[in-house]
A and B are shown apart, each in its own frame.
Chain A
Amino acid sequence: MSTGSDRAAAGPGRRTVLLSGLGGIGVLAGAAGLGGCTSSSGTAGASGASAGAGAGSAADTLRDASGHATARAFRGERQAGIIEPPQTYAVFLAVDLPTGADADSVRRLLTIWTDDAEKLMSGQGTLADLEPELAAVPAGITVTIGVGRRVPELTGAAVPSWLAPLPAYKIDKLQERWSGGDLFVQVCANSPTTVAHAVRRMLTNMGSLGRVRWQQRGFREPFEGPGIPMRNLFGQVDGTVQPDVTGSESAMLWIGSAGPAWLHGGSTVVVRRIAMDMEVWDRVDREARENAIGRHLGSGAPLTSPADAPPTAAADLDAKTPLGFHVIDDGSHLRRARGDNKEKILRRPYSYDDAPEVDPTTGRMSGLSNTGLIFVAYQADPMTQFAPMQARLAEKDLLNLWTTPIGSAVFAILPGAKDGEILGQALFG
Chain B
Amino acid sequence: MKSVMACQGISKSYGAGDILERVLKRVDLELFEGQASVLVGPSGSGKTTLLSILGCLLAPSEGQLLIADQTVNFSDKSSLTEVRRKKLGFIFQHAQLLPFLTIEENLAIVGRNAGMEDMDIKQRLDGLLQRLELKVMRYKYPAQLSGGQRQRVAIARALLHRPSIVLADEPTAALDWNTGKTVVELLLEQARLEKAVLVVVTHDTRMLPLFDRILTIADGLLSEQRQTAAVENTFYTQP
A and B associate: no
Residue ranges of A at the interface with B (Cβ–Cβ < 8 Å): none
